[in-house]
Homo-oligomer: A and B are copies of this chain.
Amino acid sequence: MIAASIVGATGYTGAVLTRILAGHPDVELQALTSTSYVGRNVGTVFPDLRVRGQYVEYSPQVLEGSDVAFVCYPHAQAHGVVAELVDAGCRVVDLSADFRLKDLSDYQSWYGFEHPRSDLVEEAVYGLPEVYRAEVTKARIVANPGCYPTGMLLGLLPAAGEIDSRGVIVDSKSGVSGAGKTPSDKTHFCSVTENFRAYSEVGHRHTSEMVQELGLAAGTALPVSFTPHLLPVDRGILSTMYFKPSGRLLDTEAWLDRYRLFYADEPFVEVCEHVPALSEVTRTNFCRLTVRTDERSGLVKVFTVIDNLMKGASGQAVQNMNIMFGTEEGSGLEGLA
């Protein structure tokens, strides 16, 4: 049994983690920490979670004995706790952005803080299993990818080597849970229902992850023009991506074959003939995707759908834990939805 704790368990990603881990056959759930709900029962804070337990205040002590900790703190607030836990011998899956970027200066330019632990940044493994499965196995820190980068990378990695130098366009549409649980004008029901909008329309922070990982896969830097939009749905991200191939234009079937080959052994990526809808992956850890050649414009279009709280966050975090501890990769993740 893996002894697992969740640090910052009362946001959306923490709640989804709680649900998954409570039903995971190989996990014993240890501490659930919270800042706002210390002493309250899980079932009181989240009536739809049928999980026993009480939230406790975070301290290294309450995590003693945990084999792994999932850290669900906001960006720039996670790295301290992560370092503390790792230094104390606990392996960590960090759901923040604090260890995703390899170039230290990126933390300053994209997230506005100076990162104090270059050693851990270097050591941390970017937790996209489809690329870094081997490294995750031994990782002390897994930097769990952002929701948008997950959907984007799964859609473009198989083609990375063949993308024209002008780069890619990533037009993403996300459900509201991606904005987090803290109420705001933007997430008020009356602002969202029967509405739709772009936001962070230039320079959204997730661009940095996309550029880093796509560049690594392509072997060369490629510009990424990323635009997120807010859908009037609870969960899910659909990304529509466009690129011009550097070589000659293959047809749709040829692209589909490549993608199928690329993901042939992946348990959580499904290459589809049809254009997948968001609801096909909601409350699952699957990414579904398809590719189309647009002969008229000479472009390739890629469509991916994921659940932002599952494959885009907590589900992928558990997938990473499974890999880290050598259990079945899909353990605890089947049968959802």
How many Å from the CB of A191 to the closest CB on chain B?
Answer: 8
Binary CB contact string for chain A from 185 to 217 against chain B (1 if under 8 A, 0 otherwise): 101111111111111011100010000000000
Partner-contacting stretch, out of A119-127, A132-140, A237-245: A237-245
Identify which of residues 144-193 in chain A touch chain B, using a CB-to-CB cut-off of 8 Å. 166-167, 169, 171, 173, 176-177, 181, 183-185, 187-193
Complex contact A48–B202 (CB within 8 A): no
Asked if A294 and B225 sit within 8 Å, CB to CB, the answer is yes
Q: Within 8 Å CB of A337, what residues of B?
A: 48, 283
Q: Is A74 an interface residue (CB 8 A)?
A: no
Stoichiometry, copies per complex: 4
Question: Which chain B residue shows the least CB distance to A242?
Answer: B169
A335 contacts which of B188, B202, B335 (Cβ < 8 Å)? B335
Interface residue? A278 (CB, 8 A): yes
> Closest B-chain residue to A197, C-beta based?
B277
Which residues does chain B contribute within 8 Å of A202, judged by CB atoms? 292-295, 301
Stretch at the interface among A54-62, A87-95, A227-235, A321-329: A227-235
Q: Which residues of B contact A279 (CB under 8 A)?
A: 48, 194-195
> In the docked arrangement, what's the CA distance between A301 and B18, Å?
33
Q: Looking across the interface, which residue of chain B has its beta carbon closest to that of A203? A: B296
Known interface pairs A189-B176, A225-B296. Does A166 touch B232 (Cβ–Cβ under 8 Å)?
Answer: no
Q: By the criterion CB–CB under 8 Å, are A244 and B166 in contact?
A: yes
CA distance A298 to B275 in the complex (A): 29
Q: Does A8 contact B (CB under 8 A)?
A: no
Asked if A223 meets B189 with Cβ closer than 8 Å, knowing A196-B231, A197-B238, A278-B197, the reply is no
Cβ–Cβ < 8 Å partners of A14 in chain B: none
Q: Are A183 and B177 in contact (CB under 8 A)?
A: no
Say yes or no for A299: interface residue by CB 8 A criterion.
yes
A333 to B: closest C-beta gap in Å = 11
Question: Is B229 a contact of A173 with CB atoms below 8 Å?
Answer: yes
CA of A195 to CA of B47, assembled, Å: 13
Interface status of A224 (Cβ within 8 A of chain B) = yes
Contact A195 to B233, CB < 8 A, known contacts A47-B274, A166-B244, A183-B187: yes
Please determine whether A232 and B189 come into contact, CB atoms closer than 8 angstroms.
yes
Chain B residue, CB-CB nearest to A281: B48
Smallest beta-carbon distance A82→chain B, Å:
27
A binding-site residues for B, Cβ under 8 Å: 12, 23, 47-48, 166-167, 169, 171, 173, 176-177, 181, 183-185, 187-199, 201-203, 207, 223-225, 227, 229, 231-236, 238, 240, 242, 244, 272, 274-283, 292-299, 301, 303, 334-337
26 residue pairs A–B, Cβ–Cβ below 8 Å = A12-B190, A23-B334, A47-B274, A47-B277, A48-B337, A169-B242, A169-B297, A181-B185, A183-B184, A187-B190, A188-B189, A189-B189, A193-B233, A193-B234, A194-B233, A194-B234, A197-B238, A201-B292, A202-B295, A224-B296, A224-B297, A225-B297, A229-B238, A231-B231, A231-B232, A335-B336
